[in-house]
Amino acid sequence: MKTNLRKYRFENGELSQQQLADMIGVSRQTIVSIEKNDYSPSVKLALILAKKFNITVEQLFELEEGDIDETR
């Protein structure tokens, strides 16, 4: 899964990871892990993040080739 979180963070006033984390009530490490693709957020957190940037979840996260095969 590809994440565009870093891109949208910078496009929205160059928010720091800590600032974003505080805004949505998670730890900075969670933001770091999502950006590094080490952690897949829950649907709820994905929706909260998308709402924060006024975009859709699909714009924030994209499936990559092979992602669908992995779930089979």
Binding site for another protein (CB under 8 A): 25-27, 29-30, 33, 39, 41-42, 44-45
Least CB distance to another protein at residue 29 (A): 7
User: Residue 36 has which token pair?
Assistant: 């590094």
Q: Least distance (Å) from another protein to the CB of residue 41? A: 7
CB 4 within 8 A of CB 34: no
- β-pairing, 61-62 vs 2-3, is antiparallel
Q: Which CB atom, from 40 or from 59, has the smaller least distance to another protein?
A: 40
Q: Name which of 4 and 33 has its Cβ closer to another protein.
A: 33
List the one residue out of 30, 28, 20, 29 whose CA is nearest residue 50: 20
